[in-house]
Structure 1
Amino acid sequence: MPKSRTSSLTRRGFVAAGGALGLVAALAACGGTDSAKGDGGKDKGSAASGPWTFTDDVTKKEVSLKAKPKNIVAFTGTAAALYDYGVPVKGVFGPTRTADGKPDVQAGSMDISKVEILGNVYDEFNVEKYAALQPDLLVTNTWDGKYWYVPEASKDKILKLAPAAAIGVGGDATLDKGLQRTAELAKALGADLNSKTVVDAKARFEAASAKLREATKANPGVKVLAGSGADALFYVSTPDTSADLKYFKSLGVEFVTPEKLDEGGFFESLSWENAGKYKADVVLLDNRTGTLQPDALKAKATWAELPAVKAGQVTPRVTEPIYSYDRCAQILEDLTKAVQNAKKVS
C-alpha cells in the first residue's frame, strides 16, 4: 500500500510517508444504540449490565472492559469508518488535516474541528493530550502485527493508558474481511447494523463487487499497475499483500506483480529512470496526501512515457481505505469504470 522516502523503507515507513499531512480529525456523530456487543460482533450482554469485550487483531487476545467504552481515540481512517456508523471518538491520530487546513482524504466525512488531534504525521502522537482525554479504548488498524500510527518510541506509555483494539487489514485480511471486522467493532461500540443506512450500504458494496467481476470478464487481459509516486522513487505494489488489492484480484482484476519486493513485502521501489520496467494498461495511483499526484508527476519524463499515462488511463487508488461499506463500494465502482473503459496499450 503506502510507499516510502527511500528504497529501504519498510511498508510501515512507506505507508507513513504516503499519508502524512493532517492535524485534527473530528468525530461528531450521533452515537448508536446502548447495546454492547461482544467480540466479533457477538452479543455479550448489555453495556449497562455487563462487561464489554472485543478481540484485538494484534495480540489476538480479548480486550475486556467493565462497560462499553465512551472515550475512544482512533487512527484517523478507522475513526472515519466509525463515524460512518455513527460512533463518535474523542481524539484522532494520523493524517487528518492537509497543509491548507482542509480534511485529509483519510478523514472521510468527519468534522475535523470537533476532535482532538494527537498527531497528524507518522511518528507523531501527543501522549499528554491523549492522557488528558481519559481514554477508555484506543482503536486503529494493523498491517503487520503492529498498531498502525502508534509510534514505537512511545508505544509502551500509550498502551498503559488504555487497552487497544486493532482491525487487521494486512496479512491474511482482504477488503471484505476488513469491512466485516470494522462493522463488528462498530456494533460492539453501539452502532445499529440493521439500520437501513448500513443495510443499503452493504448491499451497494456487494453489488459493486459483482459488477467489477463482470467487468473483468467482459474486458479480459487488462493489466493494472498499483503505483505510488515520490520525488526520487516510483513504487509498484504487489497485489498479494494489501487487503484491497487482494480482494480486487479475487474479483478477476489482473495486476502487474513486481519481481523484487523491498523489505516488508508490499512493493518494489524503482528509480524514476526505471519507472517503465513494468507495462500496464491502467495505473491505479496512490491518492494519499503525501504522494505525488498526476499534475506533479508531469515533471517526471518516464511517467509521461508510461503507456497507461499516455492513454489517459490513470485512476486514483484509495491506498488506505476507510472501512465502511459505502466508502469501499465507491472504490469498487470507480475501479469498475476504469476496467470497463480501458484499452489494451501495454
Structure 2
Amino acid sequence: MSTTRSVSLSRRGILAAGGAVGIGALLAACGGDKGSAGANGGAKGGARSGPWSFTDDRKRKVSLKSTPQRIVAFTGTAAALHDFGIDDQIVGVFGPTKLKDGKPDPQAGDLDVDKVTIIGNKYDQFSVEKYAGLRPDLLVTNMYEPGQLWFVPEASKDKITTLAEQVAITSSRTPLVKIIERYAELAEALGADLGAKKVTDAKARFEKASERLRQAAKAHPVKVLACSGSADLFYASNPGINADLMYYKSLGVDLIVPDHLDKAGYFESLSWENADKYQADVLLLDNRTATLQPKDLAAKPSWAKLPAVKADQITPWSSEPRFSYAGSAPLIEALAEAIEKARKVS
C-alpha cells in the first residue's frame, strides 16, 4: 500500500498520496441483488424499446426510459464491459487510462483509449465539465467499500451524481468469479451477447486456467505472499478480502495470511527492516505503476535478502484485476506458471 499515515486516513487520501499496496492498501484506511434488465435488456443494434433497469450492488434499482447509450465508466470497469461486448456505448472513462508515453495503462485492457474521452487519468482528476459535456446516460464503477463510488472524488460527488444515474458493482470481499458474473449480468442487460464466441472462448480459457492453477497448487505446495512495496513500507495483503486472492485461495493456493492487519483488514504494513516477517517461496508483487517494482527495490538490502527474491521467484500481481473472463484468465495462467516453476525456499 502506500503511506505511513495512520489508518484514519481515508482511502482517497491514500490514493492521492500516490502510494499503493494492492487494492487492500488503497482502501485500508478509509453481495448484492441480481441485476435485472427491463423490457429492453439490449443495446445498440439489439435493444428493444421500453424502459431499462438494473439493480446494482448497493441494492439500488436504477431505472431509465431506455437502454443507456452513453456510458461513462471507471477505466477498468469500461475494459471489463468491453470484454463482454459493450463498446460503442462507452463514451468516456475516468481513472488510469494512458501512461506517460501515451500507451494504454494496463487497467485499460483491450479498450481503445483513443476512442473515448478521458475525463481524468488519475485519482482526483475527474473533470465535471467534460463529464457533463458527454451527456451521460449512466456512470458505472467499482465499489470497494459500501456505497463508495470508486475514483469518483468526494469533493465533486454531489455534482457528478446529479448528472446521470450510477451503477456500482462490489469489487472486494467477494471471490473474483462472482464479481465477473455480476459484470456479465450488467453487460447482458446493456445488450451484450454472452453467447458470442469471443465471450465463450474467454470463459473457457478462464475455466481452463483455473483448473491449471488448482493442479499447480496441489502438485507444488509453495507458500505465496501477495505484497506491495513503497519507499518506506512493505505491505503484506490479506487473501481474505481481495477478490482475486480469495479466488486463488479457493483453488488451493497457499497464500500467507498476515496476522496483524490494518483496521479495515486489507493488509499489514511492515517497515523494510521487518520485510522478512513472512517467509514466502513466491512473491506475488503488485505491478501497478504507482508501486515499486523489482528494479526499484533492488537497492533495499532487506528486499534482496528475501528467500523468494534470491530465488528469483517473483511474479506480477495485478491487484486491481479486470473483472472479466478475458481480463482475468491471463493473470491466473501467469500465477499457475510461477507456482509450477517454483521450489520451496522458505
Question: TM-score, structure 2 length as denominator?
Answer: 0.89
Tell me if the contact between 1:281 and 1:344 (Cα under 8 Å) persists in the aligned partners. yes
Q: Given residue 114 of structure 2, which amino acid in structure 1 is its aligned partner?
A: S
Cα distance, 1:284–1:12 mapped onto 2, change above 3 Å: farther
Aligned to 2:257, the other structure's residue is in SS state coil
2:153 is aligned, of 148, 151, 154, to: 151
Q: How many Å separate the matches in 2 of 1:18 and 1:205?
A: 31
Deviation track 1:237-282 (CA, whole Å, cap 9, x = no partner) reads: 0100110000100000111111111232211111112111111000
Aligned to 1:63: 62
Give the alignment of 1:168-187 within 5 angstroms. Answer: 168-171=170-173, 173-187=174-188
4+ runs of 1 displaced by more than 6 Å? none
Aligned to 1:44: 38
Cα distance, 1:332–1:15 mapped onto 2, change above 3 Å: farther
Cα distance, 1:181–1:15 mapped onto 2, change above 3 Å: farther
Cα distance, 1:18–1:90 mapped onto 2, change above 3 Å: farther
Aligned to 2:4: 6
Q: How many Å separate the matches in 1 of 2:338 and 2:134?
A: 44
Question: TM-score, structure 1 length as denominator?
Answer: 0.89
Give the alignment of 1:1-346 within 5 angstroms. Answer: 3-8=1-6, 9=9, 14=14, 17=18, 40=34, 42-46=36-40, 47-57=47-57, 59-88=58-87, 89-145=90-146, 146-171=148-173, 173-220=174-221, 222-346=222-346
Aligned to 2:139, the other structure's residue is in SS state strand
Q: How many Å separate the matches in 2 of 1:339 and 1:130?
A: 44
Aligned to 1:265, the other structure's residue is in SS state coil
Deviation track 1:305-324 (CA, whole Å, cap 9, x = no partner) reads: 11001000000001111112
Q: How many Å separate the matches in 1 of 2:141 and 2:36?
A: 20
Aligned to 1:112, the other structure's residue is in SS state coil
Deviates more, 1:148-157 or 1:110-119: 110-119
Aligned to 1:228, the other structure's residue is in SS state strand
Q: How far 1:43 sits from its partner (Å)?
A: 4.8
Q: How many Å separate the matches in 2 of 1:210 and 1:147?
A: 33
Tell me if the contact between 1:11 and 1:265 (Cα under 8 Å) persists in the aligned partners. no
Tell me if the contact between 2:37 and 2:54 (Cα under 8 Å) persists in the aligned partners. no
Q: How many Å separate the matches in 2 of 1:142 and 1:118?
A: 19
Q: How far 1:99 sits from its partner (Å)?
A: 2.1
Aligned to 1:27: none
Aligned to 1:106, the other structure's residue is in SS state helix
Tell me if the contact between 2:19 and 2:291 (Cα under 8 Å) persists in the aligned partners. yes
Q: How far 1:114 sits from its partner (Å)?
A: 1.7
Cα distance, 1:104–1:83 mapped onto 2, change above 3 Å: same
Cα distance, 1:234–1:73 mapped onto 2, change above 3 Å: same
What 5-or-longer segments of structure 1 have no aligned partner?
Answer: 20-38
Tell me if the contact between 1:230 and 1:291 (Cα under 8 Å) persists in the aligned partners. yes
Q: How many Å separate the matches in 2 of 1:126 and 1:298?
A: 38
Q: How many Å separate the matches in 1 of 2:5 and 2:331?
A: 28
Tell me if the contact between 2:37 and 2:53 (Cα under 8 Å) persists in the aligned partners. no
